[in-house]
Amino acid sequence: MRTKYDLDASREGDRSQLSSESHPFVDPASAPRPLVYTPRDEPVKLSPAWEASNVPPEQLNFLDVTAEKLPDDEPPHDRCSLIYLVFVLHGIGTLMPWNMFITAKDYFVNYKLSEAHTGVVSEYATNFLPYVGFASHIPSVLINWINVFARMGGSLARRIIWSLCVITMVFIFTVILAMVDSSRWPGPFFFTTITSVVILNVANGIYQNSVYGLAARLPFRYTGAVVLGSNISGTVTALIKILSIAMAPNPRTAAIYYFITALFILLACFDTYFALPLSRFYRYHKLKSLRAGSEAHGPSTAVPYWHIFKKAFPQLLNVFLVFFVTLSVFPTVLADINMVDEDFFVPKQYFAAVLCFFTFNFTAMLGNLMPNLFVMPTPRWLWLPVVLRFAFIPYFVLCNYLPVHVERVTPVYINNDWAYWGMVVLLGLSSGYFSSLGMMYCPRTVEPQFASTAGMFGAAALVTGVCSGVQFSLVLSWFVQNVNFA
Q: How far is CA 370 from the centre of its chain?
A: 18
Give residue-wise pLDDT tens across range 310-354: 999 999 999 999 999 998 998 788 988 999 888 888 888 888 888
Tell me: pLDDT of 34 over 90.
no
Considering only CA atoms, which of 308, 320, 285, 319 is closest in space to residue 451? Answer: 308
86 or 296: which leads in pLDDT: 86
Give residue-wise pLDDT tens across range 220-248: 788 888 888 888 888 888 887 777 777 76
386 within 8 A of 322, measured Cβ to Cβ: yes
Percent residues over pLDDT 70 in the chain: 79
In CATH, the number for domain 81-482 is 1.20.1250.20
Alpha-carbon distances, residue 380 vs 305, 315, 374, 445 (angstroms): 22, 9, 16, 11
**What are the residue boundaries of the structural domains of the chain, listed by start?**
1-49, 81-482
Q: List Cβ neighbours of 145 (8 Å cut-off, separation of 6 or more).
A: 460, 464
pLDDT at 236: 83
Considering only CA atoms, which of 237, 194, 196, 195 is closest in space to residue 364? Answer: 237
Give residue-wise pLDDT tens across range 351-393: 888 888 889 989 998 998 898 888 889 999 999 999 999 999 9
Q: List Cβ neighbours of 143 (8 Å cut-off, separation of 6 or more).
A: 152, 201, 202, 205, 206, 209
Read out DSSP for 161-227? HHHHHHHHHHHHHHHHHHHS--TT-HHHHHHHHHHHHHHHHHHHHHHHHHHHHHHTTS-THHHHHHH
pLDDT at 434: 95
Tell me: pLDDT of 169 over 70.
yes
pLDDT at 96: 82
pLDDT at 249: 64
pLDDT at 421: 94
Q: How confident is the model at residue 44 (pLDDT cuts 50, 70, 90)?
A: very low
pLDDT at 26: 46
Q: Provide the sign of the torsion angle of the four alpha carbons 132, 133, 134, 137, taken in this order.
A: positive
Tell me: pLDDT of 42 over 70.
no
SS3 at position 23: coil
Strand partners, 401: 337
Considering only CA atoms, which of 252, 138, 143, 132 is closest in space to residue 192? Answer: 132
Give residue-wise pLDDT tens across range 119-149: 777 777 766 767 777 788 888 888 888 878 8
Q: How confident is the model at residue 214 (pLDDT cuts 50, 70, 90)?
A: confident
pLDDT at 57: 46
Radius of gyration of the chain (CA): 28
Tell me: pLDDT of 15 over 70.
no
Q: How confident is the model at residue 294 (pLDDT cuts 50, 70, 90)?
A: low
Q: List Cβ neighbours of 124 (8 Å cut-off, separation of 6 or more).
A: 113, 186, 187, 190
CB atoms within 10 A of CB 59: 10
**Model pTM score:** 0.69
